[in-house]
Amino acid sequence: MKIGTVYLVGAGPGDPGLITVKGLTCIQKADVIVYDRLASPKLLSHAAPGAELIFVGKSPAGHAMTQEEINRLLIDRARQGNLVVRLKGGDPFVFGRGGEEAEALAEAGIPFEVVPGITSAVAVPAYAGIPVTHRDYASTLAIITGNEDPRKESSHINWEKLAAATDTLVILMGAANLAYIVEQLTKFGADPQTPVAVINWGTRPEQKTVTGNLENIVSRVMKEGVTNPSVIIVGRVVNLRKKLSWYEKKPLFGKRVLITRSREQASNLSRAIEALGGEAVEFPTIRIVEPENYELLDKAISRLDSYRWIIFTSVNGVRFFFTRLLQQGKDVRDLKGINICAIGPKTREALENYALKVFYVPDEYRAEQIITGLKSWIKPGDRILLPRADIARKVLAEMLSDLGAVVDEVVAYRTVPAGGDARLLKEMLAEGKIHIITFTSSSTVRNFVHLLDNGQLPGLLEGVTVACIGPVTAQTARKLGLPVHVQAHKYTIDGLVEAILEANQVVIKND
C-alpha cells in the first residue's frame, strides 16, 4: 500500500477566518484530521464526509494523548495510506511542537509538508489593537514561551538580556506564570511602569484584554480571573490600544450566533454576522432535497402555456423549478406571456438572474400579502402554478382558490431534517457558548426542537436570545415552547440581522 502524506497545518489563533487557503484545502481533502484544543471547531465542518476526526488536545487539566502517542498516531494513519492533517493552533513551528512531530515523521520515512499558520504572537495583539512593531515605538520584537516551569534549576530563557534587549516582548501561554515573568523582567532592570497587556482567548468571541504595567498587571489579571490561553505583550506599543482597538468595538463582538438554516443557504447570514464581529456557528437543522418524484412538476412544465401566473415563494423554489425546466428540454422562452410573482426581494433577485421581469413583490414578505396585492388582477378561471416545498403552508393556495383561480400546487423540493450532531450542540448550549439562535423558517424551528427536546431545552436556552425572521416562524417557535426575543420587521436575512443588532444595542445600553 502506498504511504500517505502528513500535513502539519497551522489553524491560526482561533478565528476560523484566519486559516490559510492552503490549510483549508488540506482540511477539505483529508482522510484523517488530528486536531488540537486551540483549533477552531468550525474548521472541522469543512472536513470531507467520512473523514476520521481525532482529538488530541492538551490543557492544564490533562492531555488526551501524550506527544509520543500523537507521533505514533500520525505515523500509523499515514502508513495506512491516508492523507493526514495534523491541525495545530497558531503556527506548527511556533511553540507548537510541530518540529518534534516533523522529526518523528522524517525518522519513520513518512512524507510530510508544513503549512504555516498565522501565529497568535502577532494576530492576538492585532485583534486587541496592539501592533507588535511600530516605527515610533518598537523596531525589535522577541517571542517567548511563557510555559516554562519556574521551578527549574536553570532556565532556557535569558531573562537578563531580554529585559532590555527588545522593544516588544510577546509571551505565549504565560498567564499561569505571569508573576514569575514580571519578577524576572523587573529583577533584571525593566521599568516597573512598562505597559503590559494580557489577552485571553484572542480573536474569539471570548476575547478579554487586561492592561496595566509591570507593577500592577498581576493583581489586575487575578482580579479579572484571566487564565490561559493568553498572550502577554510587554512594551510601549500597548499604549496604542486606546487608539487602535477595533475588534472589541464591533457591534456583535462577544456573540456566538447559531445558524439553523440549510447549509446551502447559511453563508449569507454567516458572512453578515461575522462582518459585525460575531462568530457564526452553522448547525443546519434542515436539508433541501429533490422531490420524491417529479410527476406533478413535470406535468405542470409540460403545459406551461396554460398558466397565466407563476408565484414563487422561495429562492429554493426558483432554483429547483428552473433546474427541472432545463432538464425537461425547455427554457425561459417557454414562460412567455406568464406573469411572474415573488414573495420577497431575494426571490425576485433569483428570478431576475434568469432575465425574467417580476410582476409583483409584496411589501410584507408573506403569503397573505401576495393576495392583497394581486386580488384586483387575478380573474376567476385564471390558472396559477405554485412550485413549492412539500411542507409549505396551504394558506396561499386556499386564498387564491377563494378568488376563483385554478391553482396547481406542486412540490418542487422537499425540506427534510439535517440530522446534525445534537450532542455537540447541547454541550455548547450548556456551557453558555451560544448567545443567539436564528430561525429563518418554521421547519428550522421544528427540527431544532426535535433534535434537542429531551426535557432540558428550557434550561439549555436560558440566557440565549432567540431571533426569528418573521411572524410565521415566531408563531411556530412559541407553539413549540421557545421564547422569541427578536423578530425581524423585514422578513429577510438583512432584516433579521438588523433586528439582532437593534436588540443587542438595547442590551448594551441597559447593561
- Judged against a pLDDT cut of 90, whether residue 510 lies above it is answered with no
Predicted local confidence at residue 418, as pLDDT: 86
Q: Among 363, 366, 377, 373, which residue's Cα sits nearest to residue 405?
A: 377
Question: How confident is residue 40, by pLDDT bands cut at 50, 70 and 90?
Answer: confident
pLDDT tens digits, residue range 105-139? 999 999 999 999 999 999 999 999 999 999 999 99
Lowest mean pLDDT among 65-79, 350-364, 448-462, 475-489: 448-462
pLDDT tens digits, residue range 9-18? 999 999 999 9
Q: How many CB atoms lie within 10 A of CB 268?
A: 14
The three cell numbers of residue 91 are 503556527
- Judged against a pLDDT cut of 60, whether residue 447 lies above it is answered with yes
Contact 205, 41 (CB under 8 A): no
- Judged against a pLDDT cut of 70, whether residue 486 lies above it is answered with yes
Q: Rounded to whole angstroms, what are the CA distances from 340 to 71, 265, 362?
A: 62, 23, 13
Q: Among 13, 496, 31, which residue's Cα sits nearest to residue 266?
A: 496
- With a CB cutoff of 8 Å and minimum separation 6, the contacts of 144 are 157, 162, 169, 170, 171, 172, 174
Residue 399: active-site member: no
- Rg for the chain (alpha carbons), in Å? 28
Q: Which residue in the list 58, 330, 433, 490 is annotated as catalytic?
A: 58
- Judged against a pLDDT cut of 80, whether residue 421 lies above it is answered with no
Domains belonging to the chain, first-starting first, are 6-118 (3.40.1010.10), 122-247 (3.30.950.10), 256-285+418-510 (3.40.50.10090), 289-417 (3.40.50.10090)
Question: How confident is residue 59, by pLDDT bands cut at 50, 70 and 90?
Answer: low
Predicted local confidence at residue 42, as pLDDT: 84
Secondary-structure breakdown of the chain: helix, strand, coil percentages, each rounded to the nearest 5: 40, 20, 40
Q: Which residue in the list 15, 36, 382, 408 is annotated as catalytic?
A: 36
**Backbone φ and ψ of 290, nearest 5°:** -70, 160
> How does the average pLDDT of the chain come out, rounded?
92
**Backbone φ and ψ of 12, nearest 5°:** 85, 180
Specify the higher pLDDT residue, 38 or 203: 203
Residue 58: active-site member: yes
Q: Which residue in the list 91, 173, 346, 382 is annotated as catalytic?
A: 173
**Mean pLDDT on 398-419:** 92
Whole-number Å distance between alpha carbons of 230 and 243: 22
Question: How confident is residue 511, by pLDDT bands cut at 50, 70 and 90?
Answer: very low
Residue 298: active-site member: no
Question: How confident is residue 368, by pLDDT bands cut at 50, 70 and 90?
Answer: confident
pLDDT tens digits, residue range 199-252? 999 999 899 999 999 999 999 999 999 999 999 999 999 999 999 999 999 999
Surface-to-core class of residue 50, CB atoms within 10 Å of its CB (0-12 exposed, 13-18 middle, 19+ buried): exposed
- Judged against a pLDDT cut of 90, whether residue 422 lies above it is answered with no
pLDDT tens digits, residue range 143-198? 999 987 666 666 789 999 999 899 999 999 999 999 999 999 999 999 999 999 99
Q: How many percent of the chain have pLDDT more than 90? A: 78
